[in-house]
């Protein structure tokens, strides 16, 4: 692969996930707040669930927007540039909202702009890679590095003498800067023209892939697994801070433990194991990692074990979702690959994350005391036993029913 191409694709992945990594791990801690210190916005668990469910809603809509536009009309790099620059403006407005209705409105606007870019950065990379199984992990690892750098940068900002915005969404302001840079970098990406498919509804052609039993099983298990992933995104930061495992100033840095494990998985383990073990066994590693993490979260101690268990998130993400993206790319024809990736986005980041965010918010409120001396305290053991049980069920179902690693390709 030419060095200039690798550099541009790596920069794209770095910034794409630095934006998300700046706010997603820690925003919930700010939204929930600390009643004892009168910090944060004081939203309820369900309100936080609604906020986090807006990006999944946008992911449900995005295949009909981003996938169609990139497959038929506009070069992918132009779409990415416009979407990220507009998203930067929405993030800026979002950062200074303090009431739930306007916060939700600006989050929805931002989500509608950002969601299509998740699938399209993958499809753009796959378009220019000659050997996706060999090269994609080495490109995608820069997305994880971007997430890490965002978390470390936020922690450094909070510990520094620079102006602080802990009570006005500093994580969102950091994401604004990353979005602007990404929008400009997108203009330098390799030209990726529309495929000009004769089928005007390439996404519907991608849906035909669900007619294969093994592909359907993969999608169903992916859907259920990702609903439980929201327990990590919404509740890890509040859990770590409220149990004094770490502080608000350091939580974003501590949570990069997951991404360091993801770097190890993408840069070393995935290139080593995927050719040897195949898709099925690598996916199995991923789906087994999550119940292990949630079980340790439910135990809640010792602190070092809880922090170490964050690595299970990185390994799970690498071996399930990244391998899943490679799998989807391998079964779709070239004229529907953007739409096939968008289908995966719809089912997992869309419907799965939407229901998962709503479910997580409800579970958080259900196990949080509302009266008495313990008002505001959450029973974290009960909270995390729920996703532990559900992900164990997913792991068993996957090992029993998913067999094949290839399906017949479906043309538009």
Question: What's the predicted TM-score (pTM) here?
Answer: 0.76
What end-to-end distance do the CA atoms of the chain give, in Å?
29
* Residue 194 included in any domain: yes
* pLDDT digit string (tens) for the chain, length 412 residues: 677 888 999 999 999 999 999 998 889 888 987 645 546 788 888 899 899 999 888 888 876 666 566 556 778 889 899 999 999 999 999 998 989 999 999 999 999 999 888 878 887 887 777 776 677 777 888 998 999 999 899 988 888 877 666 555 789 999 999 999 999 999 998 887 776 554 556 667 778 888 878 888 888 888 988 888 889 988 999 999 889 999 888 888 899 998 899 888 878 888 888 888 888 888 888 889 989 999 999 999 899 999 999 999 889 888 888 888 778 877 777 677 667 777 887 888 788 888 998 999 999 999 998 777 667 789 999 999 999 999 999 889 888 888 754 544 433 3
Distance CA(49)–CA(61), nearest Å, equals 19
Q: Compute the C-alpha angle 399/402/407, nearest 5°.
A: 160
- Full residue range of the structural domain in which residue 73 is found: 3-401
Strand extents, DSSP E, 279-390: none
Encoded tokens for 128: 């220019």
Distance CA(267)–CA(271), nearest Å, equals 7
Distance CA(318)–CA(262), nearest Å, equals 6
* Residue 128 included in any domain: yes
Encoded tokens for 232: 């990590």
- Cα distances (Å, whole numbers) of residue 276 to 167, 258, 271: 49, 25, 9
Torsion of CA 359, 362, 363, 365, to 10 degrees: 160
Give the per-residue pLDDT at 411.
Answer: 39
- Neighbouring CB atoms inside 10 A of 137's CB total 22
* Residue 74 included in any domain: yes
> With contact defined as beta carbons under 8 Å apart, do 320 and 274 qualify?
no
* Residue 131 included in any domain: yes
* Residue 243 included in any domain: yes
Encoded tokens for 412: 């538009």
Residue 77 belongs to domain with CATH number: 1.20.1250.20
Number of structural domains in the chain: 1
* Residue 409 included in any domain: no
* Residue 349 included in any domain: yes
* Residue 408 included in any domain: no
141 CB-near residues (< 8 Å, 6+ apart): 13, 262, 263, 266, 267
Give backbone dihedrals phi and psi of 188, rounded to 5 degrees, phi first: -95, 0
């Amino acid at each position: 692969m030419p060095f200039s191409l690798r550099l541009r694709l790596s920069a794209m992945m770095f910034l794409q996930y630095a934006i998300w990594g700046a706010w997603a791990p820690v925003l919930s801690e700010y939204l929930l707040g600390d009643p004892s210190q009168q910090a944060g916005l004081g939203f309820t668990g369900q309100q936080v669930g609604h906020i986090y469910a807006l990006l999944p809603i946008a992911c449900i809509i995005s295949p009909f927007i981003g996938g169609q536009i990139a497959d038929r009309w506009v070069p992918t790099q132009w779409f990415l540039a416009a979407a990220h620059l507009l998203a930067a403006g929405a993030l800026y407005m979002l950062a200074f909202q303090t009431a739930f209705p306007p916060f939700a409105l600006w989050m929805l606007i931002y989500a509608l702009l950002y969601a299509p870019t998740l699938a399209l950065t993958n499809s753009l990379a796959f378009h220019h890679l000659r050997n996706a199984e060999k090269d994609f992990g080495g490109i995608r690892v820069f997305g994880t590095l971007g997430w890490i750098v965002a978390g470390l940068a936020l922690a450094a900002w909070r510990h520094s003498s620079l102006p602080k915005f802990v009570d006005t969404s500093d994580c969102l302001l950091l994401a604004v800067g990353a979005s602007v840079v990404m929008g400009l970098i997108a203009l330098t990406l390799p030209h990726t023209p529309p495929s000009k498919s004769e089928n005007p509804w390439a996404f519907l052609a991608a849906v035909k892939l669900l007619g294969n039993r093994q592909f359907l099983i993969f999608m169903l298990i992916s859907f259920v697994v990702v609903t439980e992933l929201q327990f990590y995104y919404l509740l890890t930061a509040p859990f770590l801070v409220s149990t004094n495992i770490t502080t608000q100033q350091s939580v974003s840095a501590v949570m990069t433990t997951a991404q360091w494990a993801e770097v190890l998985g993408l840069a070393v383990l995935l290139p080593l194991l995927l050719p040897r073990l195949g898709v099925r066994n690598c996916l199995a590693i991923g789906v087994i990692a999550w119940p292990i993490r949630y079980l340790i979260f439910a135990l809640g101690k010792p602190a070092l074990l809880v922090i170490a268990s964050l690595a299970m998130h990185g390994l799970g993400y690498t071996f399930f979702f990244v391998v899943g993206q490679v799998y989807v790319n391998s079964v779709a024809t070239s004229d529907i690959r953007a739409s096939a990736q968008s289908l995966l986005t719809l089912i997992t980041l869309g419907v799965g994350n939407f229901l998962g965010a709503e479910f997580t918010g409800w579970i958080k409120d259900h196990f949080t005391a509302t009266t008495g001396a313990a008002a505001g305290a959450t029973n974290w053991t009960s909270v995390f036993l729920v996703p532990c049980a559900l992900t164990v069920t997913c792991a068993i179902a996957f090992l029993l029913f998913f067999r094949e690693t290839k399906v017949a390709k479906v043309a538009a």
